[in-house]
């Protein structure tokens, strides 16, 4: 059943309800019963009287979002250059409809704690400001089949401090020569009182979570960085970067994905050189930086690395382009099958040694140290 309720059709067409109100199912568990009771204005104009001039003007996208009821869909009819905030208590769907939403000075879209957004529609969210993201989420956000990028200035394309799902044929990337991570889930410094860097009660959540069901993610230093306090679940997608496909410092579960080897061309594009890792995990502490990864599926090219005495990559499935010295060899071992390496339970069987072939009857073999000669007795 469609979750589309009302559609803002663009300049001149007004806004009106399309069908019975339904809150998108992914949000149900995050909302109270009262939040599901939705009301609409009878009709809503896309024009507003300017307070200074008294003349009618087009509403800004922010004004449209603020005015529509929970559960509504706002569909773009043109490109916008605007910084948008989905405020606490607001739950909407934004249909880009093939258009581009680019920021002016801040994060392109900020979702506050208690806010909810599904963004879809085959368009693009871009950010051109240093230190700002295309999507900065502190609430509940679903990214479905759109493009998110940083076309100018260093920073993450997506910064998640809330709950996020990425699905459909989404594409999230950084342009050439950028060295940030493409997506950062979690906190750069958990105890920092700046909510952009650390956990702040009432502003973001203690353990940001991201579930990636599908999509393409490329550029920068790491395609996905799971940071302090972060919980990441990777169920699909293609991850390519100049240094590491999947980088983790807390808890990550990888069920399926593809991590191709970053080639020389890719490293030149990102401006990063050195070792190329498929998966890298680092331990700092037992609370928010545990360094634990579970891999049950996927196809990986590049190094696997555990950094820190208690960092762990636990592998029960998947295919790999090389052996990595991270297994407990008393419990698991590598085997090569169809040109790829897989992890097999149990210690590696001892290699069979073939018995020496007996010398022909009537002959003995003498090793002179330099040459081997056959002597007839």
| 315 in a structural domain | yes
| 278 in a structural domain | yes
Give CA–CA dist 183/189, Å, rounded: 16
Give CA–CA dist 190/91, Å, rounded: 27
Q: Are the CB atoms for 280 and 247 separated by under 8 Å?
A: yes
Q: Are the CB atoms for 165 and 158 separated by under 8 Å?
A: no
| H/E stretch holding 211 | strand 209-212
| Count helices and strands in the chain by DSSP H and E runs | 2, 37
Residue 204 sits at φ, ψ, to 5 deg, of -140, -170
For the entire predicted model, the pTM comes to: 0.81
292-295 and 312-315 beta bridge pairing: parallel
- Tokens found for residue 365: 């073999």
Residue 111 sits at φ, ψ, to 5 deg, of -110, 115
Q: How far apart are the first and last CA of the chain?
A: 92
Provide the 10 A C-beta neighbour count for residue 306: 19
Provide the 10 A C-beta neighbour count for residue 271: 13
Give CA–CA dist 151/175, Å, rounded: 6
pLDDT at 47: 72
| 46 in a structural domain | no
3-state SS string for 222-284: EEEEECECCEEEECCCEEECCCEEEEECCEEEECCCEECCCCHHHHHHHCCCCCCEEEEEECC
| 310 in a structural domain | yes
| 304 in a structural domain | yes
Give the number of residues written for the chain: 377
Collapsing DSSP states into helix, strand and coil, what is residue 141? Answer: strand
DSSP state of 63: H
> HSE on the CB side for 243, CA within 13 Å?
20
Residue 364 sits at φ, ψ, to 5 deg, of -130, 155
| 213 in a structural domain | yes
Give CA–CA dist 138/202, Å, rounded: 10
pLDDT at 45: 54
pLDDT at 257: 97
pLDDT at 263: 57
pLDDT at 22: 36
Give CA–CA dist 140/208, Å, rounded: 10
| 108 in a structural domain | no
Report the domain count for the chain: 1
Q: Digits of tens for pLDDT over the chain (377 positions)?
A: 322 223 333 333 333 333 333 334 444 444 444 433 333 332 345 677 777 887 888 889 999 999 999 999 999 999 999 999 999 999 999 999 999 999 999 999 999 999 999 999 999 999 999 999 999 999 999 999 999 999 999 999 999 999 999 999 999 999 988 889 999 999 999 999 999 999 999 999 999 999 999 999 999 999 999 999 999 999 999 999 888 999 999 999 999 999 997 655 556 666 666 668 999 999 999 999 999 999 999 999 999 999 998 999 999 999 999 999 999 989 999 999 999 999 999 998 877 666 665 554 444 433 433 333 322 22
Domain range for residue 172? 156-376
């Amino acid at each position: 059943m469609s979750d589309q309720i009302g559609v803002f059709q663009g300049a001149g067409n007004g806004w009106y309800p399309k069908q019975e109100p339904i809150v998108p199912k992914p949000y149900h568990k995050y909302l109270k019963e009262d939040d599901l009771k939705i009301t609409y204005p009878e009709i809503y104009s896309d024009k507003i009287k300017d307070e200074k001039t008294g003349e009618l003007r087009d509403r800004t996208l922010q004004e449209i979002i603020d005015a529509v009821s929970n559960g509504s869909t706002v569909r773009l009819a043109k490109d916008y250059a605007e910084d948008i905030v989905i405020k606490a208590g607001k739950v909407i769907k934004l249909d880009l409809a093939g258009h581009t939403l680019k920021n002016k000075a801040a994060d392109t879209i900020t979702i506050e704690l208690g806010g909810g957004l599904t963004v879809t529609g085959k368009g693009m969210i871009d950010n051109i400001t240093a230190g700002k993201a295309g999507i900065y989420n502190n609430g509940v956000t679903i990214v479905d089949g759109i493009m998110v990028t940083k076309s100018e200035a260093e920073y993450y394309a997506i910064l998640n401090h809330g709950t996020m799902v990425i699905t459909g044929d989404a594409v999230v990337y950084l342009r050439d020569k950028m060295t940030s991570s493409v997506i950062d889930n979690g906190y750069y410094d958990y105890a920092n009182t700046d909510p952009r860097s650390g956990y702040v009660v009432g502003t973001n959540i203690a353990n940001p979570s991201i579930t990636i069901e599908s999509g393409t993610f490329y550029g920068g230093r790491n395609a996905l960085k799971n940071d302090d306090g972060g919980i990441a679940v990777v169920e699909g997608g293609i991850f390519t970067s100049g240094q590491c496909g999947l980088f983790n410092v807390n808890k990550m579960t990888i069920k399926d994905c593809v991590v191709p080897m970053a080639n020389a061309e890719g490293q030149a594009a990102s401006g990063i050189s050195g070792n190329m890792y498929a998966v890298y995990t680092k331990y700092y502490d037992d609370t928010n930086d545990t360094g634990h990864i579970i891999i049950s599926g996927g196809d990986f090219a590049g190094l696997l690395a555990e950094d820190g005495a208690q960092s762990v990559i636990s592998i029960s499935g998947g295919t790999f382009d090389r052996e990595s010295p991270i297994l407990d060899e008393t419990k698991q071992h590598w085997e090569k099958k169809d040109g790829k390496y897989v992890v097999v339970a149990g210690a590696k069987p001892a290699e069979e040694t073939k018995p020496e072939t007996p010398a022909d009857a009537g002959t003995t073999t003498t090793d002179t140290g330099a040459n081997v000669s056959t002597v007839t007795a």
